[in-house]
Amino acid sequence: MALKAVIFDFDGTLADSLPLCVAAFRKTIEPLAGRVVSDAEVLATFGPSEEGTIMALVPQHFEQGLRDYHACYREMHYMCPAPFEGILRIIAYLKAKGLRTALVTGKGAVSLDISLEYLGLEGAFELIRTGIPTGLNKLTGLREVLEGFGISPTEALYIGDMPGDVTASREAGMPVCAAAWCPGTDAAALARERPDYLLDSVAELETLLRSLAGEEQSFPVETRKKI
């Protein structure tokens, strides 16, 4: 079957936003906790949405922490001034070809809206599924997008930068492209999950999508390929 939809992750896939997330969390949490919080402590809480991180590190200040985080995240977004070069062009190309676009991310809805507005990505995605406070929910999000578009798993491609993105795609029965173009991405960990595609640059992604958009049949799920 032909490719009909492309589903993107956000952090580390569309933009180098992880340093922003960590810095905003530290600026928020340290005054509330009364101590220095390391990057590693913040990163160890990732998986759930922002609510999960606040609950893990300063549960006694949850509501204030969440408000402060969103304010800091907006204020510090200069740390992530634009999407990766070529992302806007790719999305425009997909829309011009009539392919559906969606976003499935572990980010919370508020911070995602801030980023989409800041980066000029408002309206770029027909369907959006965000994270939840209690843990990973990529698989649920992917299945909801497939159902919303009324397509089969083999008619879509998910693009994400974490091993869990590959795992979720596999469980959903859909092909997956591992994005290894963000600084700090563990390409070796991605490779161990044997994604269908493992790409080092957005330029390679554009080449891949242009190729897939012109094919009569979708690529086989079991095939792993690197351009």
> What average pLDDT values come out for the chain (227 residues) when binned by 10 residues?
93 98 97 96 89 94 96 98 98 96 96 98 97 83 98 98 96 98 96 98 97 62 43
Q: What is the pLDDT of residue 73?
A: 98
- The answer to whether 116 touches 122, Cβ cutoff 8 Å, is yes
Half-sphere exposure for 26 (CA within 13 Å, toward CB): 16
Q: What is the pLDDT of residue 220?
A: 42
The CATH T-level fold of domain 5-16+82-213 is Rossmann fold (3.40.50)
Give the number of residues written for the chain.
227
Residue-wise burial string across 1-16, b where 16 or more C-beta atoms lie within 10 A, e elsewhere: eebbbbbbbbbbbbbb
Please give the helix or strand (H or E) that residue 2 lies within, else none: none
